[in-house]
Each structure stands twice: as structure tokens, then as C-alpha cells.
């Protein structure tokens, strides 16, 4: 497995939480958490969660507020130092590719704007599946969104940490999860963070700036786009049969993606 190097240092850690206090940050935070909360309903029996790449613990803290026993993991000592001052939770320094936990140690493993910065995302997801009993919860910046296009244009004028990131579309992300989950994997998703005039905060359209996606591994309550649910058996996932190609073959509705 490949060992990652910390992406975010002390300068980013010092200003990370402050971004959520800005008008754009506050709006994004509200919409992203609402989208993730909806998918948490797919894990009605979940009691514990590990957030991989937790940074300052912003979403780890929120997961704890949802009634889950939440633990955060990050490789950056600067980010974890900030997390310890802000949150009364457990944080561990570690590599996403070598999680220091036993098999099935958590019900759910979450990646919130983390996958984009991993050089070996397939390996990281396989390791996450090792320690997850019920499945994975992902929040990922959408490559094919209007906000993504704005970010790319802004990046040319003012480089940021996102220059090192790799963004995903819905189709590519689904194929990545299927590559680690096998043919029996069940994936549910929706997107959010549309332009302000958009009539609905969440949609099954693949062009919102933020993708909320879950990989289900056990009997779970799955919710459709309208919020209704039904019980469905989803077998525990098998060993992946093929490697992820990384190619995004989905129909591209235009170059659009979430910006910060």
C-alpha cells in the first residue's frame, strides 16, 4: 500500500474552520450536511463512525451530533492539533491506506472531501471496507458541476490547495465504489449545492456541486429520491474482482463542480 503525505499544513489548519463562517461556507456547510444526513438514514442500525481525513474534525463533530460514536483520523499533525482544541472527540493520527483499527471496528466509515486528495483512492476504499461493518458514506466535490467550472477558472488566477485534488463525477465515483465492492455492491446517491436559484436543495441530477454517496453492505433502510424507504437485503460485499480504470465515461452535462 502507498503511504500518503499530509496535504494540509498549519496555515490551512488555522483558516479551515473560519471558511465555514463566511456566507458561501455557511451555505455549503448546511447543504452538504443535509445531503449526508439523508444518506445516514440508509444505515438505521449504525452506532459508530470513523471519519477518514477528518482535518479539524468539522464533520466528525457533526457526525457525533447525529448520535453516533465518532472517531476522526488524519495524517496531518497540524489539523489534528486544531481538532483537539475544537472537539471533545477521539482523534487518531494515521494513514488512510493503513488504518490502525481491527476488521469491522466501525459501523460506517466516512470520507468527506477527502477522496479527492488521495493518490490511491481504490486502496483507501478497500481498507475502509475492511474496518466497516455496514458501509461507506462519501461526500465528494463534483467534477461536472457549474461550481467546479468556476473553481477551475479561478485556479488559473489564484492557485489553491485544490490544485493537488482530483475531482469525480457521479458515474466515475459509482464505478470506483463498484470496483471495491464487487457486483453485489449497492450504491445510493444524490447531489446538492446547485446555484442559489435552483428549486430543490437536493436532486438525482448528477450536476450538483457536492455528491453524497453511500455504499451499503448489510440489510439497510434505503431511501429513494422522495425520501420514502423500504427494506432490502444487501449482502456483505465480496473481494473486488477487477481494478478501477479511473476513466470517467459518463455523459458530461458540462464542466461543472463545487467551488470553495
| pLDDT attached to residue 216 | 96
Q: What is the mean pLDDT of residues 131-152?
A: 91
Pairing of strands 186-192, 220-223: unpaired
Q: At 33, is the secondary structure helix, strand, or coil?
A: helix
Distance between CA atoms of 193 and 154, rounded to whole angstroms? 18
Enumerate domains of the chain plus CATH numbers. Answer: 10-232 (3.40.50.150)
Give mean pLDDT, residues 101-120: 96
pLDDT number for residue 169: 96
List the beta strands (DSSP E) in the chain: 48-52, 69-74, 90-93, 106-112, 132-141, 186-192, 202-203, 210-216, 220-223, 229-232
In DSSP terms, which residues pair with 72 in a beta bridge? 51, 91
Q: Which residues contact 118 (CB under 8 A, 6 or more apart)?
A: 4, 53, 96, 124
Q: What is the pLDDT of residue 57?
A: 95
Residue reference for cell 458530461: 252
**Is a pLDDT exceeding 90 seen at residue 38?**
yes
Measuring CA to CA, which residue among 132, 159, 244, 147 is closest to residue 198?
Answer: 147
pLDDT confidence tier of residue 14, bands split at 50, 70 and 90: low
Between these two residues, 231 and 148, which has the higher pLDDT value? 148
Q: Tell me the C-alpha distance between 259 and 210, whole Å.
A: 9
- pLDDT, position 164: 74
Q: Cell 477487477 appears where? A: 242
Of 232, 251, 223, the residue nearest 35 (C-alpha)? 223
- pLDDT, position 130: 97
What is the model's pLDDT at position 254? 39
Are residues 220 and 108 in contact, defined by beta-carbon separation less than 8 angstroms? Answer: no
Indicate the DSSP class of residue 161. G
Judged against a pLDDT cut of 60, whether residue 186 lies above it is answered with yes
Q: pLDDT tens digits for 60-71? A: 999 999 999 999
Q: Which range scores top for mean pLDDT: 132-141, 150-159, 216-225?
A: 132-141
Q: How many residues does the chain have?
A: 260
Nearest to 171, CA basis, from 134, 143, 198, 195: 143
pTM of the model: 0.81
What digits encode the pLDDT tens for the residues 203-223?
999 999 999 999 998 544 443
Residue 195: count of CB within 10 angstroms of its CB: 11
Per-residue pLDDT tens for 44-61? 999 999 999 999 999 999
Amino acid at each position: 500500500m502507498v503511504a500518503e503525505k499530509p496535504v494540509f499544513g498549519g496555515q490551512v489548519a488555522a483558516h479551515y474552520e473560519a471558511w465555514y463562517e463566511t456566507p458561501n461556507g455557511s451555505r455549503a456547510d448546511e447543504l452538504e450536511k443535509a445531503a449526508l444526513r439523508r444518506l445516514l438514514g440508509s444505515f438505521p442500525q449504525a452506532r459508530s463512525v470513523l471519519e477518514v481525513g477528518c482535518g479539524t474534525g468539522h464533520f466528525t463533530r457533526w457526525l457525533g451530533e447525529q448520535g453516533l460514536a465518532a472517531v476522526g483520523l488524519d495524517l496531518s499533525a497540524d489539523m489534528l492539533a486544531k481538532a483537539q482544541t475544537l472537539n471533545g472527540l477521539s482523534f487518531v493520527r494515521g494513514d488512510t491506506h493503513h488504518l490502525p483499527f481491527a476488521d469491522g471496528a466501525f459501523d460506517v466509515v466516512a470520507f468527506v472531501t477527502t477522496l479527492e486528495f488521495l493518490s490511491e483512492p481504490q486502496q483507501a476504499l478497500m481498507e475502509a471496507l475492511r474496518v466497516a461493518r455496514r458501509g461507506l458514506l462519501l461526500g465528494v466535490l463534483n467534477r461536472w458541476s457549474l461550481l467546479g467550472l468556476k473553481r477551475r477558472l479561478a485556479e488559473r488566477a489564484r492557485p489553491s490547495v485544490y490544485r493537488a485534488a482530483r475531482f469525480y463525477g457521479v458515474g466515475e465515483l459509482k464505478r470506483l465504489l463498484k470496483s471495491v465492492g464487487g457486483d453485489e455492491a449497492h450504491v445510493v446517491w444524490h447531489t446538492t449545492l446547485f446555484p442559489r436559484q435552483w428549486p430543490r436543495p437536493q436532486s438525482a441530477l448528477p450536476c450538483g456541486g457536492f455528491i453524497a454517496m453511500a455504499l451499503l453492505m448489510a440489510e439497510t433502510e434505503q431511501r429513494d429520491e422522495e425520501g420514502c424507504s423500504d427494506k432490502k437485503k444487501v449482502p456483505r460485499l465480496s473481494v473486488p474482482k477487477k481494478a478501477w480504470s479511473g476513466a470517467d465515461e459518463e455523459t458530461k452535462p458540462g464542466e461543472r463542480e463545487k467551488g470553495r
